[in-house]
Structure 1
Amino acid sequence: MVVMEESLRTLTRVFRRECHRVLDSERTTIQGADGMLMVLQLAMAGVNKQECGDFGVALSEVLAAWKYFLLDKLQLSHNDIPLPQNYDLIQKEYDCFLKRTNTVDLIDVFIMFKELRLNEDPEEPLTAMQLFQFLIGEKESLGKNESFPVCPATPSNKAGICSPQIQRVVRRVFCSYLGLLVNCKNDLALVYTLDNPKRSLGHIAFTDLRHAACNNGSSLFLTVTSFIRAIQLGGKGYAPPESHPLRKHIKGLSEYLNFVDQCQDILGETPNPREAGSKLVSRIRAALVKGRSAGDPVYLAAEDTDKSLKERIGQIHTMQMQSVVDTGISPARPKAYAINHSTAYGGRETVKVLMALLDEEALAPPCRNKVELLSEDHAILNGSAGVCLLTLYKSPEAPTGSSPKPLRNRVLSQQEHIKSKVVRPTIRSQFACTYKGDELPLSRVLEFPSGSQLPTCAHPAPKRTSVEEECDSPGMDKRLKEATNLKCKGPSESAMGEHSGNAWKQAGGKGTQPEPFRRATGTLKRKLANRECAEHGKEENQPPQKRPPAKAPAGGLGKRSSKSAGKKLIAGQSKLTGFLRL
């Protein structure tokens, strides 16, 4: 295992020394075995979303693709392993994620070593098969981990002190803060530091931040910085609008950015790398243990990590100073276009120490429990069950509207739908059945929804009397035909016609009409009106018919006429009174 560590350090040392020849940025960070597996999981979930619409992937599929991916990238034989589905898209998504976050993996370092090494460097410190065994986590490469106590992840001891999972997660948060100071494009570093310690920046806040970064085409940290700086310094004219999705998370994002600014101030204002690194680690520890008791597992893990990182930073700084003295080469000065030469110089030495520390963390052996790493590793500090890196990157599920609405809402919507189809007239009266082109009322539509069921008259006509039967005879129809046609000729006249006395006068009659004639004329008019209503479907609005009046004694008509003649009638009252008598 010691030989493997020395070989990997040789690869990274040559890479750091000559990476400016092949990379655009000297602050490129290296993803270790665990980081590579997490990025592969995100890449597979992203491809599944493109192909199937669901951002997710099974753990078994990730582990199967992980082995094939390592063999294929190391150019080893993988004939006995089935090809993962959409492997070309997965590989492309993986490379795009590394390029977007300004990171490389260990296999990239191994491949670039051949073209970056010099003559005095060793030819091949390790083979591709040895690197594959190290990344896959076989027994030959895990001899160092045998000394750690192994406790199963059960609910009783999941957060216990004996479990190395808490120490690994806490150490990753420390290194993520330090890595964010080195490479601000590293999105995974922001993922582990955004809500650690608790800042009310959970799943929804991270989703809004990721969408805003995707729209802007920038990294997550640059999106946070530009948003907060625009609010603090932009004024009303340049500040983001109130509808911006990050407005509701402004408090937590401000706290996060203020903490990172404090770390950057320490990085630039402290010229001694050993002292600067110690201050940075102490500041991160103070933030993580705030509000926790001394017996809390996270508190104890933070104390141990703080002590070990400070010790290692001092050792790395001593080694770098010795290498400079032995070779006689002075460190390179900052570039001429640096705004603050003192800050750039002091920060540069500390950044070199931090980069060496992060490279050693990337060379650490992979996690033995892949389930904890991919499913539960991110939920240790805040205690939120079920939160992992894959769940955090998955957007919260929006309501689809498939659930049934309450019955009251469905009834109201159905009524509104029916009302929108029915054109109601502006004026309606109890004689609406006499108007042509009128629609059915809403009450009749709701009562008779079926088109095959025809509505019937709301007020059925009374039984026929002997006079009505006499009027239905052919002789009576022949006698009244001429009088009825005269009234139907006028286009402005109503369908019910005028009083029967006018028809008698137009037919040439003189004096008072006989009682049978008036009754027959009124009955025929009612029959014609009923037929017209039946054609247009308006019988339900026909006013109720009165019973035929009993025979008046002789002289009764004369008394009623003389009595009505003595009263003074208003205009149109005679016509309406005669109509109502029918």
Structure 2
Amino acid sequence: MEALSDHLKVMVKVFRRECHRVLDSERTTIHGADGMLMMLQLAIAEVSKKHGGEFKVPLSDVLMAWKHLLLDKLHLPPPDFARLENYDLIREAYESFLKRSNTVDLLDIFSMYKQLRLVDLDPDEPVSAIQMFDFLSGNTEVQERPDSSVPSTPSSQSRRCSAQVKAAVRRVFCSYLSLLVNSKDDMSLALTLDVPSRALGRQAFTDLKHAAQDKNMSLFLAVTSFVRAIQLGGRGYAPAESDPLRKHVKGLSEFVTFLDNLEEILGEVPDPSVCGARLVTAIRSALVKGRSSGDAVHAAAEETTAELKERIFHLHQIQKQNTNSSGTGISPARPKAYAVNHATAYGGRDTVKVLLALLDEEAVTAPCQNKAELLSEDQPVLSGAEGTCFLTLFRSPEVASGCSPEPLKTRVQSRLDLLKPKAKDKVIRSQFACTYNDEEPPLNRVLEFPSTSQVPTCVHPAPKTVPPVDEESPSDGEETTSDKPAPAAENKKQSGARRGAALAPRSGNAQNRSRGSTGKTGAPMQNKGNKRKQVDSEQHGGSENEPPLKKQPASVPVKAPGKNVGKTLSKKKLIAGQGTLTSFFRV
């Protein structure tokens, strides 16, 4: 009911007025029912991952733990059903997140109200424990959110999606304003890091989360310290090249620059109404950049901007009336320890008060009736890459999404396929294949052309030299005369003498070589046609140029008259390899 909502606002105002008695910082922000439920889901997922499971939690476990948490902190009897297995660890993780973020929830406000309220000013307790439980559980009809212009009756799918987008956009607006008040709020940073899109997806957020955990600092301080070290530190203080955040320098710098612009507006504009309007307008400009007027995010941003501007102006007028009621028209001086910004700067002090009042009102609004819609990972896409689900942002991208061994087997098999050498296509090699630069020589080339270190398996024997024949050998002469006529033998001897002289080594007697080639009469050398005939005749009847394996017994020619006969016969002795070389050049 409307009365319950007003009572909750009174309780929060008392806490804000006297919080310096129990808290170290007056910039402590308050999480509403939706924020509490999102943090509880994150705590359950972290505990589940720590004990060997995945970073994932069913919706039923969240709702079960949510009911136990409400009854425990309100000191009410526990429910009939049993607790979760690791409920104590879940609550410890939940409280640790609140403390680390410099935030409190509505249950803490309710418990501290009894200590902080003044009996003279606040004689009665506005809200009971049962009413608080019903409010946070969603069992009580309370005043609708200021932005909920959509009726609660069943509507079309497009209208429900529009309401969900509007709620997500309003959450982003309040997260940016919360960072200006409380920079340690990790939830606000997670919801605004990549909204609008800055190419800072889950991998960038995971690297940032690990860096903050290693240095034991908040996410915002980890971002700003990294960017400042690059911008102002120089080489000596710049992060190492191996730093994982080096891959996201551009996006992180854009995020820090945008927050610097908001801080500049907050410190330079003294009027809270004007300053708040400029802050909201700057956030709207960033969200609608690059979007058409018909886009759902564009329409939600325009509507949220108008509502927040009006609400900031109204809160500023209320604070001015409270200040004027003191009589002097000037806010009384307060000790430095109780200053909103701890006396570090005066600029923006009044605006921070207005922003705190706005965030406190957002915390006491009615919780989301559809818990599945709030906690589902299928959130509206505001950054152009991924949804704005709080649990998805904190999940590392390396973790598998399922527990079945099939995805792992598939990934291993694909990795093995990549490591296998790729088979090369067989191509027809041309006559210029020797000019190709192959990575590995073909197998036939390796076998046909072994290296010099390998021992040859087959070696042809050297041709046997024919000893010179004596001129007075009657037995050889008889065999020759009986086989072939003397004129033919004499011609063969003369042709063999000429070829022997042509293939003789150059280190021999030059005079004998010249005489053997031209003869005593000075006859010229034979032409190519005669050489062709000579080779043909030698293939059929010659014996000195036959291959070594098929060499026939040499026939001794008959002694012929003449002075050059002895010299011609002496030239028939072949050098080593001459027979093989001669057979190689045969046509």
* TM exceeding 0.5: yes
Aligned residue for 1:68?
Answer: 68
SS in 2 for 1:222: helix
Specify the alignment match of 1:59 in structure 2: 59
CA distance in 2, matches of 1:368, 1:301: 20
Does structure 1 residue 130 correspond to structure 2 residue 101?
no
Residue in 2 aligned with 1:332? 333
Following superposition, the deviation at residue 132 of structure 1 comes to 0.5
In structure 2, distance between residues paired with 1:143 and 1:235: 52
Over 3 Å counting, the alpha-carbon distance change for 1:52 and 1:266 in structure 2 is: same
Contact 2:194 2:200 in 1 (8 A): yes
Q: Aligned partners of 1:358, 1:383: CA distance in 2, in Å?
A: 27
The alignment partner of 1:327 has SS state of coil
1:11 aligns with 2:11: yes
C-alpha RMSD over aligned residues: 3.1
User: Which amino acid is 1:45 matched to?
Assistant: A
Q: Which blocks of at least 5 consecutive residues in structure 1 are unaligned?
A: 413-427, 432-582
Aligned to 1:149: 151
SS of residue paired to 1:52: coil
**1:133 and 1:141 in contact (8 A); partners too:** no
CA distances 1:233-252 after superposition (whole Å, capped 9, x unpaired): 00001000111111111111
Q: Deviations over 1:40-64 (max 9, x none)?
A: 0000011111112421111111011
Query: In structure 2, do the counterparts of structure 1 residues 285 and 144 end up closer, same or farther at CA, with 3 Å as the change threshold?
Result: closer
Q: 1:290 matched to which residue of 2?
A: 289
Q: How does 1:62-211 map to 2 (within 5 A)?
A: 62-120=62-120, 121-141=122-142, 148-150=150-152, 159=161, 163-211=162-210
| SS of residue paired to 2:111 | helix
Residues 373/75 of structure 1: CA separation in 2 closer, same or farther (3 Å cut): same
The TM-score, its normalising length taken from structure 1, stands at 0.66
Equivalent residue letter for 1:11? M
CA distance in 1, matches of 2:269, 2:281: 14
Match of 1:389 in 2: 390
State the Cα distance separating 1:6 from its structure 2 match: 1.2
Q: 2:412 maps to which residue?
A: 403
Residues 192, 378 of structure 1: 8 Å contact kept = no
The one-letter amino acid paired with 1:292 is R
SS of 2:194 mapped into structure 1: coil
Q: Distance in 1 between matches of 2:119 and 2:160?
A: 51
1:510 corresponding residue in structure 2: none
For residues 258-299 of structure 1, give each alpha carbon's deviation from its aligned partner in whole angstroms, at most 9, with x where no partner exists.
110000001011111111111111111111111111121211
2:514 — aligned with what?
none
- 1:337 CA displacement: 13
Deviation of the 1:333 alpha carbon: 5.2
Does the Cα contact within 8 Å between 2:54 and 2:399 map onto a contact in 1? no
CA distance in 1: counterparts of 2:197 and 2:175, whole angstroms? 16
Tell me the equivalent position of 2:36: 36
CA displacement, residues 122-151 of structure 1 (integer Å, 9 cap, x when unaligned) = 321010000000000014346779973248
How big is each residue's C-alpha offset from its partner over 1:345-394, in whole Å with a ceiling of 9 and x where there is no partner?
Answer: 23111100000000000011001111221114743323546662111101
2: CA distance, partners of 1:190 / 1:151 = 34
Q: In the TM superposition, what is the alpha-carbon distance from 1:67 to its structure 2 partner? A: 1.1
Over residues 63-113 of structure 1, what are the superposed CA-to-partner deviations in whole Å (9 max), with x where a residue is unaligned?
111111111111111141321221110110000000000000000000000
Structure 2 vs 1, CA of residues 237 and 140 (structure 1 numbering), >3 Å: closer, same or farther?
A: same
Q: 1:326 and 1:40, CA in 2 relative to 1: closer, same or farther beyond 3 A?
A: same
Relative distance call for 1:343 and 1:152 in structure 2 (3 A) is farther
Report the CA distance between 1:334 and its aligned residue: 7.3
The CA deviation at 1:164 is 1.7
* C-alpha contact 2:33 2:106 (8 A) present in aligned 1: yes
Whole-Å separation in 1 of the counterparts to 2:278 and 2:255: 18
Instruction: Give the corresponding residue for 1:365.
Output: 366
Which amino acid counterpart does residue 222 of structure 2 have in structure 1?
A: T
Structure 2: how far apart are the matches of 1:390 and 1:152? 28
Taking the aligned partners of 1:302 and 1:292, their CA distance within structure 2 comes to 11
Per the alignment, residue 274 of structure 1 pairs with: 273
Query: What amino acid maps onto 1:210 in structure 2?
Result: K
Q: Between the two proteins, what is the percent identity of the paired residues? A: 58
> Is residue 2:27 matched to residue 1:27?
yes
Measure, in 1, the Cα distance between the counterparts of 2:292 and 2:417.
Answer: 52
DSSP-derived class of the 2:336 partner: coil
8 Å CA contact 1:178–1:354 kept in 2: the answer is: yes
How many Å separate the matches in 2 of 1:278 and 1:251? 28
Could you tell me whether the CA contact under 8 Å between 1:49 and 1:55 is conserved in 2? yes
AA partner of residue 67 (structure 1) = K
CA change 1:138–1:205 in 2 (3 A) is same
Give me the whole-angstrom Cα distance separating, in 2, the residues matched to 1:302 and 1:310. Answer: 12
Aligned partner of 1:234 in structure 2 is 233
After TM superposition, the structure 1 = structure 2 runs for residues 524-543 of structure 1, keeping only pairs within 5 Å, are none
How has the CA–CA distance of structure 1 residues 142 and 276 changed in structure 2, closer, same or farther, with 3 Å as cutoff? closer
Change (3 A) 1:129 1:249: same
- Conserved? CA contact 1:198–1:382, under 8 Å: yes
Deviation at 1:12, TM superposition (A): 0.5
2:351 is the alignment partner of 1:350: yes
Q: Is the 8 A contact 1:378 1:389 kept in 2?
A: no
- Relative to total residues, which structure has the larger helix share, 1 or 2? 1
2-structure distance, mates of 1:79, 1:341: 44
1:243-254 correspondence runs (5 A): 243-254=242-253
Q: How far apart in 2 are the matches of 1:336 and 1:366?
A: 34
CA distance in 1 between counterparts of 2:342 and 2:273 reads 20
Deviations 1:487-520 (A, max 9, x none): xxxxxxxxxxxxxxxxxxxxxxxxxxxxxxxxxx
Alpha carbons of structure 1 residues 381 and 336: separation in structure 2 relative to 1, 3 Å: closer
Separation in 1, partners of 2:269, 2:171: 24
User: Normalization by structure 2: what TM-score?
Assistant: 0.66
TM-aligned CA distance change 1:337 to 1:102, over 3 Å: closer
Q: Answer yes or no: is the 8 Å Cα contact 2:378–2:387 preserved in 1.
A: no
User: 2:348, 2:79 → 1: CA distance?
Assistant: 49
Query: Could you tell me which amino acid in structure 2 is paired with residue 216 of structure 1?
Result: K
Helix, strand or coil: the match of 1:250?
A: helix
Paired AA for residue 220 in structure 1: L
Shift in CA distance, 341/182, structure 1 to aligned 2, threshold 3 Å: closer
Amino acid at match of 1:262: N
Pick closer, same or farther for the CA change 1:170–1:153 going to 2, 3 Å.
farther
* Residues 266, 280 of structure 1: 8 Å contact kept: yes
* Structure 2 contact 49–55 (Cα < 8 Å) conserved: yes
Structure 1 segment 538-557 matched on structure 2, within 5 A:
none
Q: Which structure would you say has the larger RCO, counting Cα contacts within 8 Å and 6 or more residues apart?
A: 2
Change (3 A) 1:133 1:141: farther
Q: Residues 97 and 343 of structure 1: is their aligned pair in 2 closer, same or farther, counting only changes over 3 Å?
A: closer
Q: 1:165 to 1:279 in 2, by over 3 A?
A: same
1:324 CA drift (Å): 1.7
Q: What code does the residue aligned with 1:350 have? A: T
Report the equivalent of 2:535: none
Larger radius of gyration: 2
Q: How many residues align?
A: 417
Q: What is the alpha-carbon distance in structure 2 between the residues aligned to residue 398 and residue 385 of structure 1? A: 17
Structure 1 residue 323: deviation in Å? 1.0
What residue identity is the alignment partner of 1:175?
A: C
Cα offsets for 1:293-349 (capped at 9, x unmatched) = 1121211111111111111111111111111221347243573999x9998223111
Range with bigger deviation, 77-86 or 170-179: 77-86
Q: Quote the Cα distance in structure 1 between the aligned partners of 2:108 and 2:338.
A: 31
Q: State the one-letter code of the partner of 1:70.
A: L
